[in-house]
Structure 1
Amino acid sequence: MNKRQSSLETTILIIELLKRIPKSWWITAQQLKQQLAEIGLDRDIHTIQRHMKSLVESSHFPIDMNNRSKPYGYRWSQQAVGFTVNALSIQESLILQMAHKTLKNLLPSSLMDSMSGFFEEANRNISHAQDPAKEIQWLSKVVVAPETQPLLPPELQPDVFNEVSGALYNNYWLDIAYRNAGGEVKEKTVMPLGLAQQGPRLYLVCRFQGYDDERNLAMHRMLFARSTSMTFERPEGFDLKQYSKEARFTFGEGRKVKLSFRIRKDAGLHILESRISEDQTYREHEDCYEISATVVESRQLQWWLNSFGEDAWAIDCQSIEAVVA
């Protein structure tokens, strides 16, 4: 390799390092090494550490180093604007701003923080645009309307989401202190398996150490969370999407039933338009619809049926096993 090629490869490595330094959290040299390896830049840890030391000591880049404990962490200084190669267009800024609102509680905090520079640039582009572009007006032209009584999201303890999402992302065991619905505080070590947002609330799906069943823990009831450095193998049979389909977040246990009921036409028309299952069928009578569908039994299903009051009647739920028999 000639000197020019070596200098070019070093420059590319430095650029990729700068792109991966977050602003709101600490990243280690090992984490940077792993991220670079994913794009084909496989370098030994000593090379990464050497370059990071040079960047911290350089007056050109406001990068902080946390050397209070090993492994050392790196991040942009709070006053820094971060590092980007290309400027975002107004269209890209709009998409990023909308994505940030939607994804901020569903992606690992490490990933969201690593994108903080892009989000901040998007906000600057939109707020400092010279003309009232149609792209900017779009933000005031779309809204997600609540289907039920809107509730404000409960407050999370500081750093809880960062620790939980970090442990979930890295497959690390998680130490928590949790206050249950009865007010009792318990300290547990849990295996984080997934996050679910249900309305304004955020839930962690996990397994307690020593158990093989899943639990749902409300994030706002966590008084403390700390990611450990102990890794675990994710259970092969666990599927978060299937877990959700089984109504585990709506007080169900995955038991399917054959539901049938009658409902007045003015109250039930929307159920014909937005079906409650793929196999839903209906018969039209003079004053009502008779609806049948296979659904997962849950407390939320019961609440939904009760919400119709006297507009729904002849409600019957039979287990699938009973129907087959």
Structure 2
Amino acid sequence: MAKRPETIETTLLAIELLRRIPRGRKITARELHEQLSHAGIERDLRTIQRHLEMLCNHFDIECDLRNRPYGYRWLENSRGVSLPVLNPQESLLLAMAEAHLKPILPTRLIKSMTGFFTQAQRNLHASGQSRLEAEWPDKVRVVATSQPLLPPPIAEGVFEAVSEALYLNRWLKLTYRNAAGRESENKVMPLGLAQQGPRLYLVCRFDGYDNERSLALNRILAASVSTFSFERPAGFNLKKYDDDGRFGFGEGHQIYLTFEIDRAAGLHLLESPLSIDQTHREIPPDRLEISATVVDSAMLQWFLAAFGDAVSHVQRQPVTEGDAIR
């Protein structure tokens, strides 16, 4: 009975290794060690190597001994083992998740899932049974709502440090250069990560302050994860932060907005309203009056300005807290 926990741990480790050893390419013991570590499975490298040697003796796994570090892979014609594998639908879901969520997922999670992402891609492109699933990514696309821009470059190691600190609830030390070009050393409490178009923003609190700020990741010159953890503020909610217009360069102040717009230019607002309380009325012969409760922000200003002369008679009335949409 005393050996049972060790036996279970050994078996689970073997299963995890079998699931992560790929076909068609080789993976090293160090890469497997890193994947397991990011998945929360802590074993030393020598233990991983011993298990791989054992698996090579009992399964159709090839070890390339020609060059160091040695590489491991399933033999091409091997049927593998009877472990749960991704079906075509699951492979499609995982492949699309990697494509669209990778910029905002913790780096350690992405690394721990590398083997599964590889398996998903291989399943979609190696089997005739998954032909329809393999075609799906070419049939759908998320399109831009404004002029497409290339993402600004982020300094090496910054995203990894930011996502790690955010994931572990640890203080983050960073060097930041603001829009005016001034550099400063800061200690911040990471609270959220948001993608706005091609840009990534870190929502955080500076040490000694109780308000939140958004920092563009491309303006962080260097970042390191502190060993000190923190308790997330109970009153902070990333969705509310967004709903308050903070990513639109607002301060959360709501207004009752009314404006007139050419019917052709404003027809889409009848299909996609500005708010749940939006109303409209027809102004003959071809104008609309739109009224809605919205957050006052720079983004709202840009939105209205984009219509040019098609928008007129803009009125803003402050909304008290009791009148605001909840």
Residue aligned with 2:143, SS: coil
1:270 counterpart = 2:268: yes
Q: TM-score, normalised by structure 1?
A: 0.80
Over residues 192-232 of structure 1, what are the superposed CA-to-partner deviations in whole Å (9 max), with x where a residue is unaligned? 00000000000000111111111111001111111111101
Query: After the TM superposition, which of the residue ranges 253-262 and 7-16 deviates more from structure 2?
Result: 7-16
1:107 to 91, 105, 117: 105
Q: Please give the alpha-carbon distance, in whole angstroms, between the structure 2 residues aligned to 1:86 and 1:284.
A: 59
TM superposition shift of 1:285: 1.8
Q: 1:188 to 1:279 in 2, by over 3 A?
A: same
1:312 counterpart = 2:311: yes
1:165 counterpart = 2:158: no
Q: 2:133 maps to which residue?
A: 135
Over residues 122-163 of structure 1, what are the superposed CA-to-partner deviations in whole Å (9 max), with x where a residue is unaligned? 122223334781111111111111110011111111111111
Q: Supply the AA of the counterpart residue of 1:200.
A: P
Q: Supply the AA of the counterpart residue of 1:311.
A: A
TM superposition shift of 1:25: 8.6
Q: 1:55 maps to which residue?
A: 48
1:116 counterpart = 2:114: yes
Q: 1:67 maps to which residue?
A: none
1:296 counterpart = 2:308: no
Query: After the TM superposition, which of the residue ranges 5-14 and 181-190 deviates more from structure 2?
Result: 5-14
- Show structure 1 runs of 5+ residues with no match: 37-47, 63-76
Q: Supply the AA of the counterpart residue of 1:133.
A: R
* 1:173/1:192 contact within 8 Å kept: yes
TM superposition shift of 1:106: 1.7
Residue aligned with 1:162, SS: helix
Q: 1:17 to 1:141 in 2, by over 3 A?
A: closer
* 2:33/2:45 contact within 8 Å kept: no
Query: After the TM superposition, which of the residue ranges 166-175 and 14-23 deviates more from structure 2?
Result: 14-23
Q: Please give the alpha-carbon distance, in whole angstroms, between the structure 2 residues aligned to 1:23 and 1:140.
A: 31
Q: 1:14 maps to which residue?
A: 13
* 2:158/2:220 contact within 8 Å kept: yes
Residue aligned with 2:269, SS: helix
5 Å-filtered alignment, 1:279-290, equals: 279-286=277-284, 287-290=286-289
Q: 1:155 maps to which residue?
A: 153
Q: 2:94 maps to which residue?
A: 96
Q: 1:98 to 1:199 in 2, by over 3 A?
A: same
Q: 1:322 to 1:121 in 2, by over 3 A?
A: closer
Over residues 228-251 of structure 1, what are the superposed CA-to-partner deviations in whole Å (9 max), with x where a residue is unaligned? 111011111111100000010111
Q: Please give the alpha-carbon distance, in whole angstroms, between the structure 2 residues aligned to 1:320 and 1:81.
A: 64
* 1:55/1:61 contact within 8 Å kept: no
Q: 1:185 to 1:2 in 2, by over 3 A?
A: closer
- Show structure 2 runs of 5+ residues with no match: 21-28, 56-68, 75-79
Aligned residues: 294
Q: Please give the alpha-carbon distance, in whole angstroms, between the structure 2 residues aligned to 1:100 and 1:11.
A: 30
Q: Supply the AA of the counterpart residue of 1:303.
A: W
5 Å-filtered alignment, 1:23-34, equals: 23=31, 26=34
Q: 1:59 to 1:153 in 2, by over 3 A?
A: same
* 1:258/1:323 contact within 8 Å kept: no
* 2:175/2:223 contact within 8 Å kept: yes
Q: Supply the AA of the counterpart residue of 2:261.
A: I
State the Cα RMSD in Å. 3.2
1:146 to 144, 147, 168: 144
Q: Percent identity?
A: 44
Residue aligned with 1:183, SS: coil
Q: Please give the alpha-carbon distance, in whole angstroms, between the structure 1 residues aligned to 2:321 and 2:87.
A: 59
Q: 1:219 to 1:143 in 2, by over 3 A?
A: same
Q: Please give the alpha-carbon distance, in whole angstroms, between the structure 2 residues aligned to 1:95 and 1:114.
A: 17
Q: 1:25 to 1:323 in 2, by over 3 A?
A: same
Q: Supply the AA of the counterpart residue of 1:173.
A: W
Q: Supply the AA of the counterpart residue of 1:263.
A: I
